[in-house]
Structure 1
Amino acid sequence: MANQCEQLLRLWEREGLAVTLVRNNAPYQPAWVARVPVLRAAFRLLPYLWRLWSAAGRCDVMHVLANSGWAWHLFAWPAVAIGRLRGCAVIVNYRGGNADRFFSSGPRHVLRTLARAQLRVTPSAFLLRVFREHGLDAEVIPNIIDLTRFAPAPRPDFGDAPHLIVTRNLEPIYDIGTALRAFALVRRTFPGARLTVAGSGPDLPVLQALAVSLGISTAVRFSGRIDNAQIGALYASADGVLNPSTVDNMPISILEAFASGVPTVSTDAGGIPDLLTHGVDGLLVPIGDADAMARAALSVLQDPALAERLRRAGLATAQRYAWPRVREQWLDAYRRAAGLRANVATRVPQ
């Protein structure tokens, strides 16, 4: 979500649109507040609400990037409420892969708040189906891939040392452990194989210990989060991407792999099958199945013709999510949302 927000901001500013970013994770001021749990929540939330109130008074459309759980209650719900109070159109751009569970078990005001937005937008048909199951209309505007930042690079023959990468955060829902176990199996066939795990998160110590227990610690690099400006170089160095997530919607990491011409093996979680077609532009495996992930990775590494077919198809898929196409969809959504809000504001009760 942060990745898409950053891209939208940069691309709209490049085109001369007046855009104000209101972050819910702005740096703490003063910095020492970050070490005090309760205090840091107040120091982040209160300035966020004030900046929302101020920005909503100057804008025509509020584009709210929303997720499930506490993130909805603390950040998205106040944004929708403030937008409505300040009289600007509100688009809820919902991205939570756990949406069905959240809508089913969450407070009733979640669905009521969503219903009050001028438009509800999701990046995938998967979430569109979830919204409809809960009685909400929505539309799909897909994630953006900025093709100026990613391009296929010629890769030399890797011999017995292919480079695989994982570009997900180190959190339980992304199940990096399955990727490590799969990589350990790949190493039996390719003893020189390397794995880069590009992401940060609370599972780092556990995953480092798992790599040691699997005997692959010297072949695995936990690089931490790689900035968007440098991530293209990581894909250019890769011979394959592993995506082991257990909950997902429309991961931008898969689009980045497609645009970089890197064969991708992913679990079939959530909305991924709506993005990646098995055997066409990537390979799908069951969630949590390290053996299946290893077999799929080996089939790509051992079959250059298959790898080339996946690369070409992935590049074609990425074109569907390029900015020139998605740009027009967002502009149309902004115009329609502003029009709907104007109609509500001028409607005369009968």
Structure 2
Amino acid sequence: MSSSLPRVLMLPKWYPNRYDDLDGDFVERHIAAIAPHARAAVLYATVAQGPQPRLVEYVADWAAAVPTLRYYYRARPTGLPPLDKLLKLLLYFGCLLHGYGRLRRRWGRPQLVHVHVLLRTGLAAWGLKLLTGIPFVITEHWTLYLPPNAHRIGRLRRWLTARVVRAAAALHTVSADLRAALARLGAVNPQSFVIPNVVDTELFRPDPAPIVPSIDEQQRGGRLLHVAAFNEQAKNLSGLLRVVARLRPRRPQLTLRVVGYGPYDAQLRALARELGLMESGAVTFLGKLDHVAVAAEMRRAGVFVLFSNYENLPCVLIEAQASGLPAVATRVGGVPELLPGHDARGRLVMPRDEAALEQALDELLSQPLPQPEALRTPAVARFSYPAVGRQFAELYARVLGAASATAAAR
């Protein structure tokens, strides 16, 4: 790797870890897209989700293409909740401080810190800037800042978020909608950029083998696919199950395959049984699948469905487009930035409007499957690793150029 590339320290709030290899995988993909354009390293700290013998455990992967340090600290250091809350905050920053020292000695001094999801990460980067002068940029993904959730943000957190965003060299959001939501909360930065999520467009692609018999195409066209965490407040899978139950009498070949896991698993399976969808084979719950298996499901599906109450910029919709798969989704968050409404890419409906979802699915299922490349080509141009990586390279060049100019003027 060229020594002229900027050295960038990544501070993610979410990142794949020993407890969940999919946690923050969208952040991991952003960093992978950035890696050809920067000498990057990752410093990540999180609460241990199980017992561990020591207060803090440290795992380093220095041999990786992106050197990565992961810290795990106990969830209940003392067993006294009020004290543990404070101790966990101190442990978090202590882990980052320890990790920064190790990185500084072995990897070098960063020229830029890149925060992925606020707030503790941003406070750490701001503190480092005050101590060392190293600028930082922020990438934000979190649906916490969207209108349906913003009431959960306390005054102190809102004030700190606005201060950290203003102190950053730049703010990056993955959707224009999220940038507007942050602005409504007072979190504004004059250097503001929208760069989308990235997906593996080599993995998510149409099936290269053409479907010859027309009956196969008809069967594929009746296969719905839903991929999401089982979070009912956000994803409303129960609404989708009810719609499938209403469609089945006039579309007996219709099936729904559900990929996901989470706290509502038992509740949603019970609802599917109550609606008669399990015995008939109309609905299949596939549980947690890796990306390779999800890509295979998309190649076998006819329509992707995401009936969410709120979203930011869902990677699964991008993956569906890269796979040549039309979709029906809700007009929330950044979804209209991916799916304008009524074209080959699919349909938009209002959240919680089950009648509108039923009509949109009925309409889309009545049409021939679109040509996959018509959906895939624009997805590759916008969301592939090279396309997103180039945009981050331009962002870094602008930020570091401005920092150099400021330093020279002093």
Label 1:84 to 1:244 Cα distance change in 2 as closer, same or farther (>3 A): farther
Can you list the C-alpha shifts for 1:178-202, whole angstroms capped at 9, x where unaligned?
2222222232233233322212222
- Matched ranges for 1:1-350 at <5 A: 2-13=24-35, 15=36, 17-25=38-46, 31=52, 37-39=75-77, 42=88, 45=92, 48-50=95-97, 53-54=100-101, 55=103, 58-66=109-117, 72-82=118-128, 84-101=130-147, 102=150, 106-107=155-156, 108-133=159-184, 134=186, 135-137=188-190, 138-153=192-207, 154-155=210-211, 156-159=216-219, 162-171=222-231, 172-218=233-279, 219=281, 220-280=283-343, 281-304=345-368, 307-308=369-370, 311=372, 313-318=374-379, 319-345=381-407, 347-348=409-410
Can you list the C-alpha shifts for 1:32-76, whole angstroms capped at 9, x where unaligned?
789x7534984983564246534477322222111xxxxx34444
Which one-letter code corresponds to 2:30 in the other structure?
L
Stretch of structure 1 that moved more, 41-50 or 248-257: 41-50
CA distance in 1 between partners of 2:43 and 2:392 (Å): 19
Greater helix content: 1
Which one-letter code corresponds to 1:6 in the other structure?
E
1:92, 1:121 within 8 Å by CA — same for their partners in 2?
yes
Q: Report the number of matched residues.
A: 339
CA distance in 2 between partners of 1:16 and 1:347 (Å): 27
Q: Could you say what secondary structure the match of 1:91 adopts?
A: strand
2:177, 2:334 within 8 Å by CA — same for their partners in 1?
yes
Stretch of structure 1 that moved more, 253-262 or 132-141: 132-141
Q: Any gaps of 5 or more consecutive residues in structure 1? A: 67-71
Can you list the C-alpha shifts for 1:238-269, whole angstroms capped at 9, x where unaligned?
11111111111211111100010111000101
CA distance in 2 between partners of 1:221 and 1:268 (Å): 26
1:88, 1:338 within 8 Å by CA — same for their partners in 2?
no
Q: Any gaps of 5 or more consecutive residues in structure 2? A: 1-13, 15-23, 55-71, 78-83
1:265, 1:285 within 8 Å by CA — same for their partners in 2?
yes
Deviation at residue 314 of structure 1 after TM alignment: 2.5
Deviation at residue 208 of structure 1 after TM alignment: 1.5
Which one-letter code corresponds to 1:45 in the other structure?
Y
Label 1:237 to 1:109 Cα distance change in 2 as closer, same or farther (>3 A): same
RMSD of Structure 2 on Structure 1 (CA) = 3.2
CA distance in 2 between partners of 1:51 and 1:167 (Å): 38
Label 1:106 to 1:208 Cα distance change in 2 as closer, same or farther (>3 A): farther
| Identity value in percent | 24
Deviation at residue 121 of structure 1 after TM alignment: 0.7
- Structure possessing the higher radius of gyration over alpha carbons: 2
Which one-letter code corresponds to 2:131 in the other structure?
L
Greater strand content: 2
Stretch of structure 1 that moved more, 275-284 or 20-29: 20-29
Which one-letter code corresponds to 1:38 in the other structure?
R
Deviation at residue 343 of structure 1 after TM alignment: 4.2
Label 1:91 to 1:193 Cα distance change in 2 as closer, same or farther (>3 A): same
- TM-score, normalisation: structure 2: 0.72
- TM-score, normalisation: structure 1: 0.84
Which one-letter code corresponds to 2:44 in the other structure?
R
CA distance in 2 between partners of 1:196 and 1:51 (Å): 45
Label 1:92 to 1:192 Cα distance change in 2 as closer, same or farther (>3 A): same
Deviation at residue 25 of structure 1 after TM alignment: 4.4
1:22, 1:48 within 8 Å by CA — same for their partners in 2?
no
2:43, 2:96 within 8 Å by CA — same for their partners in 1?
no
Stretch of structure 1 that moved more, 161-170 or 259-268: 161-170
Partner of 1:69 in structure 2?
Answer: none
Deviation at residue 98 of structure 1 after TM alignment: 3.8
Stretch of structure 1 that moved more, 213-222 or 277-286: 213-222
Q: Could you say what secondary structure the match of 1:165 adopts?
A: strand
